Amino acid sequence: MAYFEIKNFEKSFGETKVLKGINLSIKKGEVLSIIGSSGSGKTTLLRCMNFLETVDSGVMVLDGETLLDSNVKESESILREKRLNFGLVFQSFNLFPQYTVFKNLTLAPTLLLKEKLAEKNNLYKIELKNIKKNKDISADEKEKKIKELSEKILTKKQLQIKFREERENIRKDCNNLLEKIGLTEKASSYPCELSGGQCQRVAIARALALKPKILCFDEPTSALDPELTGEVLKVIKNLKKDNTTMIIVTHEMGFAKGVSDKVIFMANGVVEEEGNPKDVFNNPKSEKLKNFLNNVSDKDGE
């Protein structure tokens, strides 16, 4: 069974139909590359997966859970939760310029932790209120439950202490991530002090800090000078070794060939051809893919 599956994604911007019924599926730990010329809808597909655009129709299933069904309208908070299944690395990094590299990594997980702790506490408080009002249970039982719950409810100070404790874990995780991308010594630098390649590596680590089930890349090397793409691609290759499930929109054909388990070629909003990288790159069937690969290799030859 597929770990992640998209069925019949459709998306229009005004009159232009950008996605015309996209289907795709990957297994856990696989790397899927999406190739195709500009305007074929690759980036839009990725943005739809990450809930940055809303699809007109389609279904998305991850690990047995329906993440998206165009017939069902979800509230903003549920959407947020579902979004966390994915990480997205942007073409233009979009690091937060006013924070250090380290804070870029820790910001979102820390905010999430704070929120989760407060939420849990509030749930207990509501439960306590309900039990106090409840007249159906015996007095003994009531007292017992009230005592139990009261112990669980934290005061502001206790909450703060617990938050600090758990924040240490986030910091440890983020330090490990920095080590993984080889930028430990840049932890307290600001993004403006880094090279493009370093920025993109930080952006990858930032996405990983939230432990997404699927990591998506939107042309991660397109904004980089050629000599800087290598370091970013190396990080992605290392992630593959850790069995990270990834979806990569890319123009780096050599890289796509090397790293992917599966390649999808998109043209004009449809999946024109798909298969394992060997077949797609060495034995293209459709005319469009043949043309595309020819054009790309022409450019490489120049």
Partner 1 sequence: MTFLQITQSLLQGFALTCLIFFLTLIFSIPLGLAISFGLMSKFKPLNLVLKYFVWIIRGIPLMLQIFMVYYLPGILNNGQNFWGTVDKYLYFNFQIKSGGALIAVLFSFVINYACYFSVIFKGGIEGVNRGQSEAGQVLGMTKKQIFRNVILLQVIKKITPPMSNEIITLVKDTALANAIGVVETIMAAKNFASGFPPIIWPIFYSGIFYLLFVGILTLLFGYIEKKLSFYKE
Least separation in angstroms between residue 27's CB and partner 1 is 24
Nearer to partner 1, 60 or 263 (CB): 60
Nearer to partner 1, 33 or 50 (CB): 50
Nearer to partner 1, 65 or 81 (CB): 81
Per-residue H/E/C for 243-294: CCEEEEECCCHHHHHHHCCEEEEEECCEEEEEECHHHHHHCCCCHHHHHHHH
Least separation in angstroms between residue 183's CB and partner 1 is 17
Least separation in angstroms between residue 97's CB and partner 1 is 5
Nearer to partner 1, 87 or 277 (CB): 87
Nearer to partner 1, 76 or 165 (CB): 76
Determine the 3-state secondary structure of 219 from DSSP: coil
Structure tokens at 109: 């997980």
Q: How far is Cα 65 from Cα 27, in angstroms, rounded to an integer?
A: 14
Nearer to partner 1, 83 or 234 (CB): 83
Question: How far is Cα of residue 265 from the mean position of the Cα atoms in its chain?
Answer: 21
- DSSP state, residue 2: -
Least separation in angstroms between residue 187's CB and partner 1 is 15
Nearer to partner 1, 96 or 254 (CB): 96
Structure tokens at 56: 């007109």
Least separation in angstroms between residue 238's CB and partner 1 is 22
Q: How far is Cα 207 from Cα 212, in angstroms, rounded to an integer?
A: 7
Q: How far is Cα 84 from Cα 82, in angstroms, rounded to an integer?
A: 5
Would you mind telling me the total number of residues written for the chain in this entry? 302
- CA dist list (Å): 84 to 88, 153, 294: 10, 27, 38
Quick check: 204 and 178 in contact, CB under 8 A? no
Q: How far is Cα 103 from Cα 175, in angstroms, rounded to an integer?
A: 11
Least separation in angstroms between residue 227's CB and partner 1 is 23
Residues of this chain that bind partner 1 (CB under 8 A): 50-52, 76-77, 80-81, 83-84, 86-88, 90, 92, 94-98, 107-108, 111-112, 190-192, 206-207, 210
- DSSP state, residue 241: H
Least separation in angstroms between residue 101's CB and partner 1 is 12
DSSP lists the bridge partners of residue 247 as 32, 216
